[in-house]
């Protein structure tokens, strides 16, 4: 996996803007808002509605089971009662390649697609959903694979034998091409409409919804199910939903040029070397295992999981070591979120606000809670929410700027609530739904309370508490793999309340079992 490349933020922004002809003259002249959509739903004003949430699902067939397909089958039991599906990112592993959409997305979710009975004939850039399917991009949906490495993997027998016959990382000839495959699958790629007449006709056919922010895309299940942009907003039951692309504001800050900063740099370099050694040992172990034996096959899956996890740790360390003052942050998106949240609070009748994006600001999963990217997302989201709070003034007692935040990235299901953080993200509900098909991970050994230092001191104060964690647990033959999705029932009235209903499909001793966890009200 050493060959995986994460494109620069500036490249991600530029490429995605080109694909949707971001704010081109023809779009601006028509007063079209490219960050908003309206769902074709006769019950859109009903204050009671339900939706499903999944994330980090995009894996293919494991050695002897397919967790993503298992979760999809359980989701089908709720399809008629739910208005839409939110996906918190990482639609395709490992490098977001178009080569793997059939196996890693279209096949497992075939019942959610028009023509799904013949799913093998559906191209990834021609998908139409029969139930609104609303994703945001994850980091893997942007990853790339240099051509020379793709050739080496496919044509060099020893590497192919190691990666495909044993570890099987779902890597083909190429990567995502800076998120191109994701855009082809889900976004309305206006750039592909050559000729002025074609673009005009398309805009006048599909951007017909009218809102207080102008014309916008009309999302029609079964007919036209594209998204207008990589980040967007929509309204259901007088609740505003905001889908964000957190891949463009997750860069860590530069290390301080102080003695303490240099000491921390050395610590990071030592940690990087230690991870490198651990990876080599795991690769050597995998080469001794027999994939045709059940227990050894599951160990191979565990090694594949661990290697991907360690690679991610190295990538996070590298981001910290190379960070400098020239870091690009997606200020345009963050300012958009700030302005739209303020507008939402000033719009009569709006009952609440929900954010969903990939990287969680708060999480206790063992590999994510202390990552520099996690802290960067937390800091930047706080800045936005603090600005919103300053603009709108005091809130009703017990209310927060946003009522619920949904994330992925951490391979688990988790419910947390912030305490008084000293910022406008205090007393907010956070749900991490990232255990819907890819490798599961454990909760950190440090416990359920998240702390951080404040005001430049070394003293740690609690900022959040985990109330439910569902992830990998146990050892050896007792290892448990509870994959998950969640159904959320939005209740009528104010303040906004949610009934959260997590569902688990667990594999133990080669046998699947499905169950609903106790529902809880937030």
Q: How far apart, in Å, do the first and last CA atoms of the chain sit?
A: 40
Quote the pLDDT of residue 347.
Answer: 97
pLDDT recorded at residue 395: 84
Q: Regarding predicted confidence, which is higher, 474 or 486?
A: 486
Distance CA 246, CA 248 (A): 5
Averaged pLDDT, 158-164: 46
* Token digits of residue 109: 């979710």
Q: What CATH number was assigned to the domain covering residues 9-251+328-521?
A: 3.60.21.10
Q: Give the model confidence (pLDDT) of 355-395 as tens digits.
A: 999 999 999 999 999 999 999 999 999 999 999 999 999 88
Stretch 168-191: mean pLDDT, rounded? 91
The residues, ordered by sequence, that sit 6+ positions from 449 with a Cβ below 8 Å of its Cβ are 462, 464, 465, 466
Decide if pLDDT at 161 tops 50.
no
User: Does residue 166 surpass a pLDDT of 60?
Assistant: no
Q: Structural domain boundaries of the chain? A: 9-251+328-521, 259-321
Q: Check: pTM over 0.95? Answer yes or no.
A: no
Whole-Å CA distances, 488 to 94, 128, 435, 499, 515: 29, 24, 16, 6, 16
Q: Indicate if the pLDDT at residue 91 is higher than 60.
A: yes
Mean of the pLDDT values across residues 69-79? Answer: 97
pLDDT tens by residue, 365-375: 999 999 999 99
The tokens 């004939």 sit on which residue? 121
pLDDT of residue 163: 46
Strand 520-521 and strand 498-508: the pairing is antiparallel
> What per-residue string of b and e applies to 322-351 under the rule 16 or more CB within 10 Å gives b?
ebeeebeebeebbebbbebbbebbeeeebb
Question: Quick one: pLDDT at residue 424?
Answer: 97
Lowest mean pLDDT of 78-82, 120-124, 187-191, 508-512, name the range.
508-512
% of the chain with per-residue pLDDT over 90: 73
Task: Please give the average per-residue pLDDT across 31-58, as a whole number.
Answer: 96
Question: Lowest mean pLDDT: which of 162-166, 334-338, 489-493?
Answer: 162-166
Tokens of 105: 């997305």
Give me the mean pLDDT over the 250-276 stretch: 90
Edge-to-edge strand order for the sheet containing 413-418?
Answer: 209-211, 214-219, 32-39, 232-236, 239-243, 352-356, 404-407, 429-433, 413-418, 460-470, 449-453
Average pLDDT (253-281) is 90
Query: What is the 3-state composition of the chain as percent helix, strand, coil, each rounded to the nearest 5?
Result: 35, 20, 40
pLDDT at site 379: 97
| pLDDT tens-digit series, residues 132-160 | 999 999 999 999 988 666 555 555 544 44
Q: What is the pLDDT of residue 59?
A: 83
125: CB partners within 8 A, 6+ apart: 98, 184, 185
Q: Phi, psi at residue 113, to the nearest 5°?
A: -115, 140
Per-residue confidence band for 98, with pLDDT thresholds at 50, 70 and 90: very high
pLDDT tens digits for 422-441? 999 999 999 999 999 998 99
| Backbone dihedral angles phi then psi of residue 485, each to the nearest 5 degrees | -145, 170
- What's the mean per-residue pLDDT of the chain? 91
Q: Is the pLDDT of residue 82 over 80?
A: yes
| The two three-digit tokens of residue 239, written as one number | 């609740």
């Amino acid at each position: 996996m050493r060959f995986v490349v994460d494109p620069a933020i500036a490249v991600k922004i530029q490429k995605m803007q080109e694909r949707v002809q971001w704010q081109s003259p023809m779009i601006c002249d028509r007063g079209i808002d490219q960050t908003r959509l309206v769902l074709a739903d006769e019950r859109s004003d009903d204050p009671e509605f339900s939706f499903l949430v999944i994330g980090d699902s995009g894996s293919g067939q494991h050695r002897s089971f397919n967790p993503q397909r298992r979760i999809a089958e359980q989701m089908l039991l709720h399809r008629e009662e739910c208005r839409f599906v939110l996906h918190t990112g990482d639609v395709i592993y490992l490098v977001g390649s178009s080569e793997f959409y059939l196996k890693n997305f279209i096949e497992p979710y075939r019942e959610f697609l028009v023509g799904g009975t013949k799913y093998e004939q559906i191209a990834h850039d021609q998908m139409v959903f029969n139930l609104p399917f609303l994703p945001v991009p994850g980091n893997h949906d942007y990853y790339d694979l240099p051509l020379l490495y793709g050739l080496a993997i496919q044509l060099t027998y020893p590497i192919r034998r190691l990666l495909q016959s044993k570890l099987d990382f779902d890597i083909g000839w190429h990567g995502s091409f800076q998120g191109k495959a994701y855009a082809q699958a889900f976004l309305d790629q206006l750039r592909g409409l050559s000729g002025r007449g074609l673009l005009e006709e398309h805009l006048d056919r599909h951007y017909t919804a009218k809102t207080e922010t102008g014309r916008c895309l009309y999302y029609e299940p079964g007919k036209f199910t594209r998204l207008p942009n990589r980040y967007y907003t929509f309204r259901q039951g007088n609740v505003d939903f905001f889908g964000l692309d957190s891949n463009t504001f997750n860069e860590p800050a530069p290390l301080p040029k102080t003695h303490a900063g240099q000491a921390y740099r050395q610590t990071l370099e030592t940690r990087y070397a230690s991870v490198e050694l651990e990876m080599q040992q795991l690769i050597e172990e995998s080469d001794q295992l027999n994939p045709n034996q059940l227990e050894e096959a599951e160990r191979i899956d565990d090694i594949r999981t661990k290697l991907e996890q360690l690679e991610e740790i190295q990538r996070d360390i590298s981001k910290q070591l190379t960070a400098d003052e020239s870091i690009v942050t997606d200020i345009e998106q963050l300012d958009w979120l700030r302005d739209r949240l303020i507008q939402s609070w000033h719009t009569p009748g709006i009952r609440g606000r929900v954010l969903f994006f990939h990287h969680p600001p708060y999480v206790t999963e063992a590999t994510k809670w202390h990552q520099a990217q996690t802290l960067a997302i937390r800091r930047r989201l706080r800045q936005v929410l603090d600005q919103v709070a300053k603009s709108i003034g005091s809130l009703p007692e017990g209310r927060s700027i946003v009522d619920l935040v949904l994330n992925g990235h951490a391979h688990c299901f988790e419910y947390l609530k912030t305490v008084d953080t000293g910022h406008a993200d205090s007393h907010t509900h956070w749900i991490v739904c990232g255990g819907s098909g890819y490798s599961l991970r454990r909760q950190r050994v440090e416990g359920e309370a998240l702390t951080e230092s404040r005001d430049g001191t070394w003293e740690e104060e609690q900022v959040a508490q985990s109330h439910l964690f569902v992830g990998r647990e146990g050892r050896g033959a007792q290892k448990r793999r509870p994959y998950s999705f969640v159904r959320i029932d939005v209740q009528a009235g104010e303040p906004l309340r949610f009934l959260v209903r997590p569902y688990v499909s667990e594999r133990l001793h080669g046998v699947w079992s499905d169950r609903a966890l106790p529902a809880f009200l937030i």
